[in-house]
């Protein structure tokens, strides 16, 4: 495949990723600090994570789920389907995981041409999608319980100040892992396009710039979906949810497992949301998201399969 078409798709991928996933961090701060501050923390965290730890995802798909020698039709089809699906779901304002789109598309494209799909890696990834929301919910619930005990021994003014500071730091950490895991995953797909280190370094800069542009221009559109429509949380519960998410993402990134960020963060928010009565959880929105996660993966696999045959 020519380098430019592949790189164009990857740059568009990064842009739509920034557009879609930034609501997972800015949305959790939208009612607690100014949107501009939330935006700055998101961009700073993504930048640091991508350039410091993005390399850990170098073999998360290519070389692990499917061979590094993936033929051109499969590679092009998988990337194109991933970008298209993420774009469509972003336009309808549905927070969706980049990993769901990408893994489904690559599996479908590989199967279409008889390319090996490593079942053990697929089971590992899908298994993480199932376990992670529950693990994140449990951690969030535990963090909230500990934080509440600490709060009872502090004055109201000191609590409010500490909550905002700690929450800002935790959101930066989540954005850091967002850059390391998902932007790192996008960057890893460009390896088959060229072996030039200079070109790959330039691609990294362009990918981050594209993702940042998506965050700045459109990130606010999805912030409300996360902060208002799914779970309404106080400062301390938001802190618990985001810290739990950061811990889980850190572990999975270290293992080079593509993270479903929507599942991780929403799992954390659920754990914090059920810690009070009545539950601060919109079960209808959660049901729609869960069904969407499964459907997106299956649809991307089917589209990747047929597009790979077509090209």
Flag whether pLDDT at 160 surpasses 70.
Answer: no
Single pTM value for the model: 0.85
Instruction: Outline where the chain has alpha helix (H).
Output: 3-21, 23-26, 35-53, 72-91, 98-112, 119-151, 156-178, 184-188, 197-218, 220-224, 235-254, 261-273, 283-310
Distance from C-alpha of 28 to C-alpha of 135, rounded to nearest angstrom: 19
The three-state secondary structure class of 195 is coil
Distance from C-alpha of 26 to C-alpha of 171, rounded to nearest angstrom: 8
The three-state secondary structure class of 95 is coil
Look at residues 63, 66, 136, 125 and name the one whose alpha carbon lies nearest to residue 99: 125
Please count the other Cβ atoms lying within 10 Å of the Cβ belonging to residue 48: 16
Torsion of CA 287, 288, 293, 295, to 10 degrees: 110
Flag whether pLDDT at 230 surpasses 50.
Answer: no
Q: Report pLDDT digits (tens) over 241-269.
A: 888 888 888 898 998 898 877 778 777 77
What is the percent of the chain with per-residue pLDDT over 70, rounded to a whole number?
78
Q: Report pLDDT digits (tens) over 187-206.
A: 998 876 667 778 888 889 99
């Amino acid at each position: 495949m020519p380098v430019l078409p592949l790189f164009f798709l990857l740059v568009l991928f990064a842009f739509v990723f920034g557009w879609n996933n930034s609501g997972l961090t800015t949305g959790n701060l939208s009612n607690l600090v100014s949107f501009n501050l939330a935006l700055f923390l998101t961009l700073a965290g993504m930048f640091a994570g991508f350039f410091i730890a993005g390399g850990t995802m170098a073999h998360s798909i290519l070389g692990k789920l499917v061979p590094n020698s993936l033929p051109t039709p499969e590679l092009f089809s998988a990337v194109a389907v991933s970008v298209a699906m993420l774009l469509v779901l972003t336009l309808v304002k549905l927070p969706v995981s980049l990993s769901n789109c990408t893994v489904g598309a690559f599996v479908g494209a590989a199967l279409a041409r008889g390319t090996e799909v490593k079942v053990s890696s697929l089971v590992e990834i899908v298994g993480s999608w199932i376990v992670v929301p529950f693990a994140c919910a449990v951690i969030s619930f535990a963090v909230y319980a500990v934080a509440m005990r600490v709060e009872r021994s502090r004055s109201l003014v000191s609590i409010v100040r500490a909550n905002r500071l700690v929450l800002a730091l935790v959101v930066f950490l989540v954005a850091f892992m967002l850059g390391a895991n998902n932007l790192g995953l996008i960057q890893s797909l460009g390896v088959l396009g060229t072996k030039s280190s200079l070109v790959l370094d330039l691609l990294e800069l362009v990918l981050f710039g594209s993702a940042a542009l998506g965050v700045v221009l459109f990130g606010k559109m999805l912030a409300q979906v996360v902060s208002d429509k799914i779970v309404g949380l106080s400062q301390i519960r938001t802190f618990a949810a985001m810290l739990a998410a950061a811990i889980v993402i850190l572990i999975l990134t270290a293992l080079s497992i593509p993270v479903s960020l929507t599942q991780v963060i929403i799992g954390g928010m659920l754990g914090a949301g059920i810690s009070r009565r009545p539950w601060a959880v919109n079960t209808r929105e959660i049901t729609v998201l869960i069904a969407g996660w499964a459907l997106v993966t299956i649809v991307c696999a089917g589209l990747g399969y047929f597009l790979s045959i077509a090209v």
